[in-house]
């Protein structure tokens, strides 16, 4: 059955370059102009957020593109207020496209009298009128269960696999995928499976939050090109220390593939001065000038994947099909030649 309503994109201020790139790609795929819905998202002098949508969205299938990255609270409030504006404007359906889902690290109670903020955010999004969430690499997969609405969790590992096969062509037998902690083994295993590489783990013991007392490498990394895989890089302290530990245990080179480049505080300086040959980030969080200018940091785009996922949601077709090389490869063929798959 043909879709009667049109997909329309709107964005807050969190990552406008990504939103505009998705808009351009949708225009290309559909053969019609797919500009972002004209709106203003601004602040009063006291910091209150105000939203005004300039176009008619009645009965339309709306997609709000807004990661809840730094400043997390401002970007989250923008998302909620945009959703409320669309709901009160009689949009047919509202999908929140949240490339980076903030507060995801607060997914459980680790001590007495602490919140589960990820659940609170889920309740807020649903209460604002959002009927579906599209995100990438949730910090904890169980966060999908915090919602009573559909959640499509995309993965960066298929994109990373394409990049690895392109960048390390001829060296695939020397690769070793490394999880920087026990909790990230499933994510690292997924990439290892896609590139047919063995898996190693860096086990870390903390005396208190933010301070690592000891790191141990599980597995033989001697003369291997190690690829550290994780969902986010915040201050890069753990990542840089893991890279050094791997070299101390005989690794030939260390590279890192990280889904979300939070890159707080001294992160860029630490990565630049580290032993890592390269750090690959996605653009789910808008990279700063410091990140873009760092000599050993590269950015891989997520717009092709998000664009196709949005179109599949609109058409009512499979989103999980995008996890396969035969589906994802053509979407990224302009970046990675088919011969490198």
Question: Is residue 259 a contact partner of residue 137, using CB atoms and an 8 Å limit?
Answer: yes
- Helix (H), strand (E) at residue 268: helix 267-272
Question: Is residue 143 a contact partner of residue 101, using CB atoms and an 8 Å limit?
Answer: yes
* Alpha carbons 288 and 181: distance in angstroms, whole number: 27
* Alpha carbons 137 and 101: distance in angstroms, whole number: 9
- Residues designated as active site: 204
* Alpha carbons 233 and 91: distance in angstroms, whole number: 36
Helix (H, G, I), strand (E, B) or coil at 242: helix
Question: Is residue 162 a contact partner of residue 328, using CB atoms and an 8 Å limit?
Answer: yes
* Alpha carbons 198 and 176: distance in angstroms, whole number: 5
Query: Largest alpha-carbon pair distance within the chain?
Result: 61
* Alpha carbons 338 and 155: distance in angstroms, whole number: 20
- Helix (H), strand (E) at residue 154: strand 151-154
β partners of residue 203: 216
- To 10 degrees, what angle do helices 16-30 and 303-315 make? 60
Residues 6+ apart with CB under 8 A from 181: 201, 202, 203, 204, 238
- Preceding amide of 71 cis, omega within 30: yes
* Alpha carbons 262 and 284: distance in angstroms, whole number: 9
Which among 220, 149, 237, 161 is positioned nearest to 196, based on CA atoms? 161
Strands 278-282 and 132-136: unpaired
């Amino acid at each position: 059955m043909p879709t009667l309503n049109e997909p329309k994109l709107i964005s807050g201020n969190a990552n406008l370059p990504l939103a505009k790139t998705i808009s351009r790609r949708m225009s290309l795929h559909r053969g019609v102009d797919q500009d972002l819905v004209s709106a203003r998202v601004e602040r009063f002098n006291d910091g209150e957020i105000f939203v005004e949508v300039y176009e008619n969205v009645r009965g339309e299938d709306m997609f709000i593109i807004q990661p809840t990255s730094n400043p997390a609270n401002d970007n989250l409030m923008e998302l909620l207020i945009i959703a409320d504006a669309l709901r009160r404007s009689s949009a047919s359906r509202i999908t929140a496209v949240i490339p980076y889902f903030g507060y995801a690290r607060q997914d459980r109670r680790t001590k007495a009298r602490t919140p589960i903020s990820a659940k609170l955010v889920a309740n807020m999004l649903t209460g604002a009128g959002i009927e579906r969430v599209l995100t990438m690499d949730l910090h904890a997969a169980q966060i999908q269960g915090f919602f009573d609405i559909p959640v499509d969790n995309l993965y960066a590992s298929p994109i990373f696999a394409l990049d690895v096969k392109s960048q390390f062509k001829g060296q695939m037998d020397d690769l070793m995928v490394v999880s920087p902690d026990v909790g990230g083994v499933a994510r690292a295993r997924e990439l290892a499976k896609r590139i047919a590489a063995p898996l190693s783990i860096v086990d870390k013991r903390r005396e208190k939050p933010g301070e690592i007392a000891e790191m141990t490498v599980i597995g033989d990394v001697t003369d291997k090109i190690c690829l550290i895989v994780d969902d986010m890089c915040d201050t890069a302290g753990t990542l840089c220390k893991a890279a050094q530990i791997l070299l101390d245990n005989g690794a030939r080179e260390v590279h890192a593939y990280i889904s979300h480049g939070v890159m707080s505080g001294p992160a860029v300086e630490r990565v630049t001065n580290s032993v890592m040959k390269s750090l690959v980030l996605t653009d789910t969080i808008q990279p700063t000038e410091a990140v873009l200018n760092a000599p050993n940091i590269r950015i891989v785009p997520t717009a092709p994947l998000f664009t196709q996922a949005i179109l599949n949601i609109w058409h009512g077709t499979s989103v999980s099909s995008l996890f396969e090389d035969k589906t994802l490869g053509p979407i990224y063929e302009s970046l990675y030649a088919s011969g490198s798959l």
